[in-house]
Chains A and B, each alone.
Chain A
């Protein structure tokens, strides 16, 4: 496949006051790829997501999406360009029904409610919530809400989907279903950048893995390369195991 660059972090840094949360991080996500973003808690993964999706403005560096700078633009602008994020702590529109939730996403490209409803129904089918369209969103199980989070984002017809820990807290059966869903999304032409703590899942899923620690990129490569990288092993298991 021809791999054109979709998303590009170029020397990105972010400071909160005196705290250097992200320091000089560069990597790319190519068209058709699933890229895994891993690292210990507090490494700065979600901060990178927030910068790419417009919720935070980088202090240094540039973020480009399909060749255009997106750093500093607001989330709606970036969403219209085709990059959409999900939230680690799921954010359903609680009082609205499942299909209304997905419709909010679908409205981005379909102004008429009946069109948006059609797209929403299709997306819900795709994520396995087809039977729950009329249920009020806050009554869904955690697994259901994670699927809904993906459905809302998918309904905007993204080119690139940023998934923030969509498997955390799921049972092994639910995790397997979510893995299948993510793979089917790639097959349908959506590229994915995924933050995940479930190593087995992220290793099996990703074409490429980027490892972040203390706000810095410490490794990048195929799952096998990254798994054998001494710095990565040390980051996850502690210094004395490195040698």
Chain B
């Protein structure tokens, strides 16, 4: 369907995904599991980003804003009101939707690089606000999630298996959301907006409204990822959850994997996160080694195939039917 992806290959990818998903649980190693959790978290975030940045083609580099909102919202309501993060997560999602509407109304009419700059600015503004909210949000030091050890109803556990299963479910749900969008009228309209906004307008697509919907869905999903992160590391700080790095990494994972495709975001995370871990251990903890690796991989993949890993695999495994002869 969209951009020439065969849906018959989806079941193949699905089978591969399930097999890969079980392996980390079998190893029983907490180290392997924590890498697997982070890999899947980034797959989930890249899938969330994909709705706006991939399918609709609006290059957001400020998704850390929504991630941070989710992380802080559930943590604040848990620490101060005793509300389970399972519920606080939805408050975070709702707040992220509000933020997406505010950012969207002020910036979605901007095109290309200007939109990207506006999204970075929105994340930086939020980070600064949080850093200055010493009394309410703990300022630059952040907040600790009250430790309860094994409390699944409070979204906490001492075993990594707990988080692994949750994030795996999140990824599956995010895949379903993307799949549903891609095969609907809404998905075609977003793809049309990505390809040529004026042409889409002329054919009756209310482009601004549809982009705003995409931003809202994407923001809500990202915020839920933020809550997960807060519960996994049991600590939030402006640097970690609102940082400019994070916003860029989420986008890079999706772009390397394949923007606007179903499996691209997952592939991007599967390549990047484990290699980042390797780079970190081989470089002996050299600061910035992971970002250098991101840069290098991004350059290599985009140089070889701008449409990302999904397109590379398609090139390897099947003949390019659709790039057929031109008259």
Which A residues from 78 to 114 make CB contacts under 8 A with B?
79-80, 84-87, 91-97, 100, 103-105, 107-108, 111-113
Nearest B residue to A80, CB-CB: B204
Q: Which of A6-14, A40-48, A139-147, A178-186 contacts B (4 or more CB under 8 A)?
A: A139-147
Q: Is A136 an interface residue (CB 8 A)?
A: yes
Total residues of chain A contacting the partner, CB 8 A: 39
Which B residues from 296 to 327 make CB contacts under 8 A with A?
321-324, 326-327
Which A residues from 53 to 80 make CB contacts under 8 A with B?
53, 55, 74-76, 79-80
- In the complex, A155→B192 CA distance in Å? 15
Q: Is B4 an interface residue (CB 8 A)?
A: yes
Nearest A residue to B326, CB-CB: A139
For A103, the chain B residues whose CB sits under 8 A away are 188
For B202, the chain A residues whose CB sits under 8 A away are 53, 55, 75, 79, 84-87, 91, 153
Decide if A144 touches B327 in the complex (CB within 8 Å): yes
Q: Is B30 an interface residue (CB 8 A)?
A: no
- In the complex, A93→B324 CA distance in Å? 17
Decide if B206 touches A76 in the complex (CB within 8 Å): yes
- In the complex, A74→B207 CA distance in Å? 11
Q: Is A191 an interface residue (CB 8 A)?
A: no
Q: Which residue from B4, B184, B189, B201 sits with its C-beta under 8 Å from A75?
A: B201
Decide if A93 touches B199 in the complex (CB within 8 Å): yes
Which A residues from 8 to 63 make CB contacts under 8 A with B?
53, 55
Q: Which residue from B4, B185, B322, B324 sits with its C-beta under 8 Å from A111?
A: B185
Q: Is B198 an interface residue (CB 8 A)?
A: yes
For B2, the chain A residues whose CB sits under 8 A away are 96, 100
- In the complex, A93→B200 CA distance in Å? 9
For B203, the chain A residues whose CB sits under 8 A away are 79, 84, 104-105, 108, 152-153, 155-156
Task: Knowing A85-B202, A135-B322, A144-B327 are in contact, say whether A94-B195 is a contact too (CB < 8 A).
Answer: yes
Q: In this complex, which of B1, B185, B326 has the most chain A Cβ atoms within 10 angstroms of its Cβ?
A: B185
For A85, the chain B residues whose CB sits under 8 A away are 202
| Min C-beta distance of A95 to chain B, whole Å | 5
- In the complex, A155→B4 CA distance in Å? 21
For B324, the chain A residues whose CB sits under 8 A away are 134-135, 139
B190-218 vs A, Cβ < 8 Å mask (1 yes, 0 no): 01101110111111111100000000000
Q: Is A116 an interface residue (CB 8 A)?
A: yes
Q: Is B183 an interface residue (CB 8 A)?
A: yes
| Min C-beta distance of A208 to chain B, whole Å | 24
Task: Knowing A76-B205, A95-B3, A96-B3 are in contact, say whether A104-B198 is a contact too (CB < 8 A).
Answer: no
Which A residues from 200 to 242 make CB contacts under 8 A with B?
none
Nearest A residue to B206, CB-CB: A76
Task: Knowing A79-B203, A84-B203, A139-B326 are in contact, say whether A55-B321 is a contact too (CB < 8 A).
Answer: no
Decide if B199 touches A87 in the complex (CB within 8 Å): yes
Q: Which residue from A87, A94, A104, A112 sits with its C-beta under 8 Å from B205?
A: A104
Decide if A104 touches B322 in the complex (CB within 8 Å): no
- In the complex, A8→B3 CA distance in Å? 40
For A94, the chain B residues whose CB sits under 8 A away are 195-196
- In the complex, A154→B198 CA distance in Å? 17
| Min C-beta distance of A173 to chain B, whole Å | 12
Which B residues from 232 to 271 make CB contacts under 8 A with A?
none
Decide if A92 touches B196 in the complex (CB within 8 Å): yes
Decide if B201 touches A104 in the complex (CB within 8 Å): no
- In the complex, A117→B57 CA distance in Å? 23
| Min C-beta distance of A67 to chain B, whole Å | 20
Decide if A107 touches B189 in the complex (CB within 8 Å): yes
Decide if B195 touches A93 in the complex (CB within 8 Å): yes
Nearest B residue to A100, CB-CB: B188
Q: Which residue from B4, B191, B198, B327 sits with its C-beta under 8 Å from A87?
A: B198
Q: Which residue from B188, B204, B327 sits with its C-beta under 8 Å from A79?
A: B204
For A80, the chain B residues whose CB sits under 8 A away are 204
For B206, the chain A residues whose CB sits under 8 A away are 74, 76
B152-191 vs A, Cβ < 8 Å mask (1 yes, 0 no): 0000000000000000000000000000000111001101
For A156, the chain B residues whose CB sits under 8 A away are 203-204
| Smallest CB-CB A-B distances: 8 pairs | A93-B195, A79-B204, A91-B199, A75-B201, A108-B204, A104-B192, A91-B196, A76-B204
Chain B residues with a Cβ under 8 A of chain A: 1-4, 183-185, 188-189, 191-192, 194-196, 198-207, 321-324, 326-327
What are 6 residue pairs bridging A and B, where the CB atoms are less than 8 Å apart in the complex? A79-B203, A91-B196, A95-B191, A96-B2, A100-B1, A136-B323
Chain A residues with a Cβ under 8 A of chain B: 53, 55, 74-76, 79-80, 84-87, 91-97, 100, 103-105, 107-108, 111-113, 116, 134-136, 139-141, 144, 152-153, 155-156
